[in-house]
Structure 1
């Protein structure tokens, strides 16, 4: 939070500094908010063969205090679930906080990437025009920052926005968004928007779209509304039809809903670690599950290579300090590592990750309940994923 932020804005951080509250929020969403299921389909779940590997003694990252092992990583990241697949087999699966394999866990902003798959698929099918302004599909957003942006801008976080005339602060605006979809998070005297659509209508542009990268939830909520208008389906039904029923999911997933019954598409999604791993394995295999093409091969194959001209090739990860080099790319709502292994990442607050590395034959899923604070260093999850992949390849 900037030093100039008024003390009243501290109200918007409540709950997120208590790990126990975070864990309840990440694992019991159905008990706290209205939700809509993402149906897994009627088919049998796709089996996940196992080939256990002993990773507990592996040195993951070297720190000032010495080598970091998985137990140390789990403590630092407050890990709820950790699952690794190598060459299509589960080699490691743990639930350190006493969870289980069948209870959906909050995915947070990792869900943005899943929506990116849906949008890219519809564009590939010719049903969505990436160059069209969002207002061409959602006319009531004309004149707003998101309505005047192109679909391609939304997919690459390419808008500059101010809500209700406020100076933009990413962390505070994220908490204000949470208050829109979860009334229990609203501070006393709240008088802001009651629904996602009302929230989007308050957005005004502070710069031309497509000129720079600015990570903001409204891009994804606008894109979700565009996709609903294009298809006539809810976000839950879309993800079910295009992804969830195709990966052989074992459990239904679900989205949190706002007061209008609209899914919180940018981060209100929960699913099990095994099913998210199935999604990652489908992508690692070029969008296919066995002989069935779930996502077009062109969509899956260009996640790590398809940043369009005119958009930044290097962007800064939200949790990274301001002085860190911008080494990642961002394409169709996925984080691209630009490493030798064509790795890419879906990432969410409190430690939610789906890591896909075709070059390492690796898929890793991490769910956590880590406090997000300048006083709490982020756990080196990506470095650990790569180290595990290199170890398994040896």
Structure 2
């Protein structure tokens, strides 16, 4: 009789192939692991004026299977939340699978961009030196791939790294990262790092930093550790201090923690769609909320135009086929669309998106539980967002 696969392996597999499990984790993950709140502060929530628009009948995207309207898109993307703001008003908000507006949802790697915004703000204020190596702030990382990289390299995924002597493979390293922060996902016989800091110490450089682009979680976890050393604050307290409590969030957000009590900064962040929309609207308005500057205007205005010299001007999305054209840019952990509207976005696995388009006066939030598999076609979310913006401006 064949040996039964360990429960941890089965659970990991289900995480990729079962939308119901993905949705459970996206909505309840902070209840399944230790977590720390990102306090919304004492002030009033920023108002979200409403002016309903009927977008259900709009043809939002054309695929090989035909033209899709928003309900079709929601079905294909396993959408959990969808919110459209245009010129400061919420025009459309839906929760197709029963989630509620006040329920936090994992943002996955979209959280990278929020941390990038905090880092860019601290650099603008002179608190953080972009040209310094990470080991200048975190001495124990000296001699590792991330410790020898500059802060600027971390913000642009500019390291070349292998972990524990393994040849680098993105999917394998994603699984290994989850095994670090979630004991229940460790394969049978796992003997690797059990904390994020231990994981980072196993990283060795396979090329000089600042010479290419490789999307890798360790860059963000190293940056988060640098920011903790610079400010003396936890990642949760820092995000609250710099963004959540200043922009008028309505609900607390949350980070899941590793066994050291350290936040999973690269993707363990939960927040409501409305509060993520507030963040996007603040950026669309040049970093201001109701005339009050939350992040420096220069930081907000240069997200889509500030790729520094020496870094690739055009890169591919992580899940894009290797033969696909590289049309995006990457700056301070934000994805830049290089369209005529100055659009940029935060993006996470399973369909998490914060899309900001100053030229279209548009902010869109999408939370989803889409299966990630070569057999499941990617859903053209960005094309749909742009189509909605063009329609609203026509």
Give the TM-score taking structure 1 as reference length.
Answer: 0.97
Q: Give the conservation status (yes or no) of the 8 Å contact 1:235–1:263.
A: yes
Question: 1 CA distance for matches of 2:207 and 2:216?
Answer: 14
Shift of 1:331: 0.1
Q: Which residue of 2 aligns with 1:184?
A: 184
Question: 2 CA distance for matches of 1:351 and 1:27?
Answer: 14
Pair 1:200 & 2:200 matched: yes
Please tell me the root mean square deviation across aligned C-alpha atoms, in Å.
Answer: 1.1
Question: 1 CA distance for matches of 2:12 and 2:367?
Answer: 23
Shift of 1:66: 2.1
Give the TM-score taking structure 2 as reference length.
Answer: 0.97
Q: Deviations over 1:362-381 (max 9, x none)?
A: 00000000010111111110
Question: 1 CA distance for matches of 2:12 and 2:49?
Answer: 44
Question: 1 CA distance for matches of 2:232 and 2:124?
Answer: 18
Question: 1 CA distance for matches of 2:205 and 2:297?
Answer: 35
Q: Which residue of 2 aligns with 1:347?
A: 347
Q: Which residue of 2 aligns with 1:106?
A: 106
Question: 2 CA distance for matches of 1:15 and 1:386?
Answer: 30
Secondary structure of the residue aligned to 2:205 is strand
Pair 1:234 & 2:195 matched: no
Question: Structure 1 runs of 4+ off > 4 angstroms?
Answer: 9-14
Q: Give the conservation status (yes or no) of the 8 Å contact 1:105–1:270.
A: yes
More moved, 318-327 vs 379-388:
318-327
1:130-169 aligned at under 5 Å gives the runs 130-169=130-169
Structure 1: which 5+ runs fail to align? 1-8
Structure 2: which 5+ runs fail to align? 1-8
Number of equivalences = 386
Q: Which residue of 2 aligns with 1:59?
A: 59
Q: Which residue of 2 aligns with 1:171?
A: 171
Question: 1 CA distance for matches of 2:233 and 2:85?
Answer: 32
Question: 1 CA distance for matches of 2:38 and 2:99?
Answer: 21
Secondary structure of the residue aligned to 1:330 is strand
Q: Give the conservation status (yes or no) of the 8 Å contact 1:33–1:257.
A: yes
Pair 1:249 & 2:249 matched: yes
Q: Give the conservation status (yes or no) of the 8 Å contact 2:86–2:363.
A: yes
Q: Give the conservation status (yes or no) of the 8 Å contact 2:159–2:209.
A: yes
Question: 2 CA distance for matches of 1:293 and 1:203?
Answer: 38
Shift of 1:29: 1.7
Q: Give the conservation status (yes or no) of the 8 Å contact 1:82–1:366.
A: yes
Q: Give the conservation status (yes or no) of the 8 Å contact 1:13–1:175.
A: no
Question: 2 CA distance for matches of 1:11 and 1:150?
Answer: 37
Question: 2 CA distance for matches of 1:258 and 1:202?
Answer: 17
More moved, 296-305 vs 171-180:
171-180
